[in-house]
Amino acid sequence: MVTSAPAMSGLDVFEELESEVRSYVRAWPAVWSRAHGASLWDEDGREYLDFFSGAGGLNYGHNPDEMIAALTRYLQSQGIIHSLDMATTAKRDFLRRFEEVVLLPRGMNYKVMFPGPTGTNAVEASLKLARKVTGRQDIVSFTNAFHGMTLGALALSGNVVKRESAGIPLEHQLTAPFDGELGEDVDTVGVLDTMLADESTSVAAVIVETVQGEGGLHTAHFSWLQRLSECCKRHDVLLIVDDIQAGCGRTGTFFSFEPAGIQPDLVCLSKSISGSGLPMSLTLIRPDLDIWSPGEHNGTFRGNNAAFVTATEALSWWADESLANEVRRKSEIIHTELASIAEEHESLRATPRGRGLLQGLHTPIDGLASGICHEAFERGLLMETSGGAASDVIKLMPPLTIEDEDLERGLAILRASVEATAP
């Protein structure tokens, strides 16, 4: 006798078979089947606007036409998919294009390391190299930082719940206060300066996000980043910028630290570096620090050539200033709207935060940010919260390439969601 399975709603299989660790599917209980640009469709054909952009992995929207065309051509010509760190035409094209479009015009001189394909792999590689170069063990990270989930990166996290998931003590890490953490009037670089001067510490590197993507959109002033860079130099400590979320154009320049005029010793990129959502990451290394011996750090999926193909294509967006200008223009639109929502709804006690197309609203009212994001989902807009365990920031991260009409439609949904939820 054939026993038929119980009638299934589209999500039953995930509840039955997939680990309890799943999270976004709980916030957005839909089964997604198709996406293009700033839109996602569930399997019933309902359209949602995407102000989440794969947590920053989809800066150019879903399935960008030129990248998908390049990828399709590559696959149909039997292009190499997997190559560890062997030389391939796809990797060569990427490296040349990256040099030509990103490094040379900015007067930047870095060696490119391909670690494993995720962001946390790029962070781990930078930590390992910083420790090897300096012979010191400790890394300074900042309050509310997020740098990834593997143990080295997790030790840098400001989020207690995430830290505890390690199940072991996370060591060789010191926390310094981020810009603004001790109030507007306190220059927290002074605190770091004192920490680094303490002879009982043995700090190899300081790692920083210019805008804290997961930790609440706290945004460093350019002058603070400059003082940070000087402080690291003064103490002969390496500066790592984790540009995994804020980089690749998210804040309006290819690297988020460009307007500060600093040159970090190491830079981590991932999320949108492939442009298409395919996994890829890079650690950029100041050439004289590149003291790895061959194979000392490795990984099976360092040669994700499909990602190199779309990454090369994605760099076309940076061959001139037009996308950067667009991001700045759209970020003004968002800032104006957020400031006006905050002003019109005093009960939110909201303040705008962030920079570029990585902005949001902080509200200290318990559960409100999540409530607004939930309401937005019901109305057809994906938006995430930020702010660690408190989740007290509504975060807007539309594709950089979003059409004005979609941007305005999304902002209107946000406004309506606030109006429906505000106390």
Binding site for ligand PLP (CB under 6 A): 55, 118-120, 123, 146-148, 209, 213-214, 242, 244-245, 270-271
Contact 378, 371 (CB under 8 A): no
CB of 149 to ligand PLP, least distance (A): 6
Are 238 and 130 in contact by the 8 Å Cβ rule? The answer is: yes
Shortest spacing between CB 111 and ligand PLP, in angstroms: 21
In the complex with ligand PLP, the residue whose CB is nearer, 55 or 166, is: 55
Nearer to ligand PLP by Cβ, of 358 and 361: the residue is 358
Taking the CA atoms of residue 360, residue 386, residue 40 and residue 14 in that order, the dihedral angle to the nearest 10 degrees is -160
The whole-angstrom separation of Cα 412 and Cα 423 is 19
CA 330 to chain centre: 19
Other C-beta atoms lying within 10 Å of the C-beta of residue 127? 27
Q: For residue 72, what are the CA distances in angstroms to 167, 276, 321?
A: 43, 12, 27
Among 159, 140, 141, 163, which Cα is nearest to 150's? 163
Q: How far is the CB of 281 from ligand PLP (least distance, A)?
A: 7
Contact predicate 298/86, CB 8 Å: no
Structure-token pair, residue 100: 């030509």
Closest to ligand PLP by CB, 159 vs 417, is: 159
Least distance from ligand PLP to the Cβ atom of residue 278, Å? 12
CB closer to ligand PLP, 120 vs 159: 120
* C-beta closer to ligand PLP: residue 243 or 406: 243
Nearest partner of 297 among 281, 276, 316, 319, judged by Cα: 281
CB atoms within 10 A of CB 153: 27
Q: Closest residue to ligand PLP, Cβ-based?
A: 119
CB nearer to ligand PLP: pick between 356 and 371: 356
The residue among 280 and 309 lying less far from ligand PLP, judged by its C-beta, is: 280
Distance from C-alpha of 419 to C-alpha of 350, rounded to nearest angstrom: 13
**What residues have CB less than 8 Å from 248, skipping those under 6 apart?**
56, 59, 254, 269, 271, 272, 273, 275
Q: In angstroms, what is the minimal distance from the CB of 355 to ligand PLP? A: 14
Identify which of 202, 236, 208, 238 has the alpha carbon closest to the alpha carbon of residue 130. 238
User: Minimum CB separation from ligand PLP for residue 347, in Å?
Assistant: 31
CB of 247 to ligand PLP, least distance (A): 9
The nearest distance, CB 147 to ligand PLP, in angstroms, is 5
Of 130 and 413, the one with the shorter C-beta distance to ligand PLP is 130
Based on CB atoms, which residue is closest to ligand PLP, 131 or 147? 147
15 membership: H or E segment, kind and range: helix 12-17
CB of 409 to ligand PLP, least distance (A): 26
Q: Within 255-361, where are the H helices? A: 305-314, 322-344
